[in-house]
Amino acid sequence: MVARRFLLAIVALAFGGLFLGAGQENPTPPKEVTYNRDVAPILYKNCVVCHRPNNIAPMSLMTYKETRPWARLIREAVVQRKMPPWHADPNVGEYLNDPRLSDVDISTIDAWFRTGTKEGDARDLPPAPVFGEGWHINPDIVFPIPEFMVSGASQDEYEYIYVPTNFTEDKWVQAAEVLPGDRRVVHHATVSVIEADKVAKKEEENKGSNAGVDKYHYRTGKVLHLRQDAPVVDDGCSYPTGGGVPGKESGYVNIVPGIYLPGHLAETRPSGYALRIPAGAYLQFQIHYSNHTSEDVKDRTSIGLVFAKEPVKHEIAQYEIWNDLFLIPPNDENHRVTSCYTLPKDVIALAYTGHMHFRGKSMKTEAIYPDGHHEVIMNVPHYDFRWQETYFLKKQFLMPKGTKLVTTAYFDNSVNNAQNPDPSRALRWGEPSDEEMMGFWLQFADPKPVDEKPAVAHK
């Protein structure tokens, strides 16, 4: 008996751990692993959302023919858990949109590779998933910007474009995705909701070359930077504003149905939670264009919205919390920056996003609750500018008024950081990606149920 189990263990080992951990007396004999029956379903479910023609990944994995040449790299990418991309520490928090493969799926791909990447019987192949052109969701409605010409002469511009929704009633948005018109020039795009009567004022502000320019900022062309002589505060938590420029708190509320950032997919909020777009509101597209093609490029970025199909209980908004006063010295490979913000009201925590630029190395946020206990709520140990994910909590929870959110980021401004455009530069806050930012965003919901309150704007 013992000998037989020992033998089975050897067999299991020989198959790359495929049957390890099953713990059975008599595991089924190892069957042949084929693309059609075993591998395609894994790729369809976990990979082709990006790995299909004209999407963000460099190659399509929709068919056997397309997949076969990549088998070795696919095996490596999944065994090392480089794919699907995910940067949250698996030991901190559980997330709804965690795309990591199960150990069984990894073993299957591993075994497929080791046993000769067989195609198998065509009758085993499940139907391929169908996607809308470019979209990762199926929008109920799409709002494109009017065609915008991005001049070949410009390298970094923030454009503000206002698109009317013409909604005749309040609408609840469950999921949203911002689709760049031309990925060569759209560096990022944030879409926020602006009530109709505020649009004229906003447009005026953004037209003027002084928009957002106070005594701590200056502008070159259409982008903002922090002045070199602004106070230097790396430890925002030791400063009265928590990291904001003097007189301005580190955190504020923004209503953002959708954002496009490198590696950021569509956002689908848990059922019962949705964002409200009031009747008649406008969508403000803040688009960061960066044209390195040296020719004029036309862009029509759009946002797709999926309306809530189930009753909405709680309305969503977002705190954006920043340190805007740091100074990262040249060649510093581990520069620490913090921000602090104390919640002015009870909220239900829904999702976290960390935002830095190329020098971002890691980010961790700790919540210190009014009763004194504290916990790390988000940890991104290896931040990657190319993969800026939003982490949606599996279990939403109440963060009481008075909870202090302490975010600690590290920046690598050394030559060791392969993405660093210039280690010899000292860096302060700036909109261009080759300057820096340090932001933690908390998507939250109002704990007060929607039907108990009148439809009013957030404060």
The secondary structure of 28-46 as a DSSP string is: PPPPPPBIIIIIHHHHHHH
57 burial (CB, 10 Å; 0-12 / 13-18 / 19+) is middle
Pick from 27, 30, 84, 402 the residue near ligand HEC by CB under 6 A. Answer: 84
Q: Is 262 in the site for ligand HEC (CB under 6 A)?
A: no
Task: Give least dist CB 387 to ligand HEC, A.
Answer: 7
Q: Is 47 in the site for ligand HEC (CB under 6 A)?
A: yes
Distance, CA of 193 to CA of 277 (rounded, Å): 7
Q: Is 46 in the site for ligand HEC (CB under 6 A)?
A: yes
Q: Is 52 in the site for ligand HEC (CB under 6 A)?
A: no
3-state secondary structure at position 78: helix
Q: Give the nearer residue to ligand HEC in terms of CB position, either 51 or 364.
A: 51
Q: Give the nearer residue to ligand HEC in terms of CB position, either 102 or 220.
A: 102
Name the one range near ligand HEC by CB under 6 A: 28-36, 53-61, 126-134, 433-441: 53-61
Name the one range near ligand HEC by CB under 6 A: 14-22, 54-62, 365-373, 422-430: 54-62
**Applying CB under 6 A, what is the total number of residues that bind ligand HEC?**
20
Pick from 15, 44, 70, 369 the residue near ligand HEC by CB under 6 A. Answer: 70
Task: Give least dist CB 134 to ligand HEC, A.
Answer: 13
Distance, CA of 283 to CA of 158 (rounded, Å): 16
353-392: contacts with ligand HEC (CB under 6 A): 386
- Token representation of residue 121: 């019987």
Pick from 101, 277, 325, 348 the residue near ligand HEC by CB under 6 A. Answer: 101
207 burial (CB, 10 Å; 0-12 / 13-18 / 19+) is exposed
Pick from 40, 62, 83, 274 the residue near ligand HEC by CB under 6 A. Answer: 83
The values of phi and psi at residue 202, to 5°, are -60, -45
Work out the number of other CB atoms within 10 angstroms of the CB of residue 342.
Answer: 16
Q: Which segments of 314-453 are extended strands (E)?
A: 314-322, 335-342, 347-356, 360-368, 374-380, 390-399, 404-411, 438-445
Handedness of CA 186, 196, 454, 172 (dihedral sign): negative
Instruction: Give the binding site for ligand HEC (CB under 6 A).
Output: 46-47, 49-51, 56-58, 70, 73-74, 77-78, 83-85, 99, 101, 265, 386
